[in-house]
Amino acid sequence: MIEIWPPITAFVTALLLGWVMRRAAIIDRPNQRSNHDKPTPRGGGLGILAGFFIALALFPEQPPASAAMLAGLALCGGIAGAAGLLDDLFTLSETLKFIVLVALSLALAAMAGPVTHLGIALPWSIGLLGSALWVFTTANAVNFMDGSDGLIAACLVPACLVLALAGGGDVAPASLALAAALAGFAVWNAPLIRARGTLFAGDAGALGAAVLFAGLALRWAATGPDGTVWLAALLILPLLGDVLLTMAARAKAGRRLFVPHRAHAYQLLIRLGMSHRRVALVWAGLSLACGTLALVGAAGPAGLKFGVFLIGVAGFTVFHRSVRKRAAAAGEDITQ
């Protein structure tokens, strides 16, 4: 049975720290690729991390292996958040951020995984590299997509709730705590009452929350039945899919891949005049659909798990292409 007080505490902590950060002097000033036109406070991700950490401290005593994994997860998430905060404040070099994230990805892959069975048994070293790539890719994808009010919470809250339902063991309570912390932050970030949010997560929140989610999903994939790895990827498909499909389209068009751009599907929809609220609702719907597929797959054999993953990929690909076609028809540059 999952204790109710840790997630409640996570929500309240993120909510209160969000209120504090709205009054702090860490400001995100718009640039040529921003989706906002007014200086906006950032650093709300500190509330997400603090809420999650306090919730962990309130958990009932865990078995030694679970306690060690959760402590390692918290440490990696904290370091990622600290690196993100320093980048928010001082703009770190890309090389330094890359090295830190690679090191964190390898460490978390070893602690929460690695996944060593993907239809066939994999050598531990291959499983470690693949699992680290999952953490690295997820962290970057969430960071890339953190550009529209409420978007990250709209994707990660449903994903974490599914993990809480299906993950079991040490994954379930931690996932629920992370969902609660994200929801507390979303009170300020999501365009619920106002047309725009009033607080951004910043790199501290995007990287920190992404690493925490990636670690929990990896733990589920590594300890769950065969094929669970496909469900872990399915949970975050609306974020990963937009990043990967957009990069593929830019590569096909001869664009440089690792430069700032406004070609993600959510950015194209905003450029077409869709409000941030509607974009967040669209991605929340996509995330709920993927979560539902994951729950269906979790109840069946490995073949069903892979099947629902393919259904999710096919459905999101159709959606992504339709957005790009609509933007191209409206005269938008869909690769820049």
pLDDT tens digits, one per residue of 75-125: 999 999 999 999 988 888 999 999 999 999 999 999 998 999 888 889 999
Helix crossing, 124-145 with 202-223: angle to 10°? 150
Establish if 334 belongs to a structural domain. Answer: no
Establish if 335 belongs to a structural domain. Answer: no
CA distance 236 to 218: 12
pLDDT at 33 over 70: no
- Domain containing 268 equals 5-329
Establish if 264 belongs to a structural domain. Answer: yes
Mean pLDDT for all residues in the chain:
92
Establish if 336 belongs to a structural domain. Answer: no
- Over residues 141-145, the mean pLDDT reads 87
CA distance 304 to 281: 28
CA distance 2 to 291: 20
pLDDT tens digits, one per residue of 293-302: 999 999 999 9
Adjacent-strand bridge partners of 117: 121
Label residue 264 exposed, middle or buried (CB < 10 Å: 0-12, 13-18, 19+).
buried
Q: How far is CA 204 from CA 43, 76, 78, 83, 209, in A?
A: 7, 12, 9, 7, 8
pLDDT at 25 over 70: no
CA distance 219 to 170: 9
CA distance 19 to 306: 42
The DSSP call for residue 167 is -
- Phi/psi at 17 (5° precision): -70, -30
Establish if 120 belongs to a structural domain. Answer: yes
CA dihedral 313, 316, 322, 328 (to 10 degrees): -90
Residue type, 323: V
For the chain, the straight-line distance linking the first and the last C-alpha, in angstroms and rounded, comes to 49
Q: Look at residue 220 in the predicted model and tell me its pLDDT.
A: 97
Establish if 22 belongs to a structural domain. Answer: yes
| Tally of domains in the chain | 1
How far does CA 149 lie from the centroid of its chain?
14
Establish if 267 belongs to a structural domain. Answer: yes
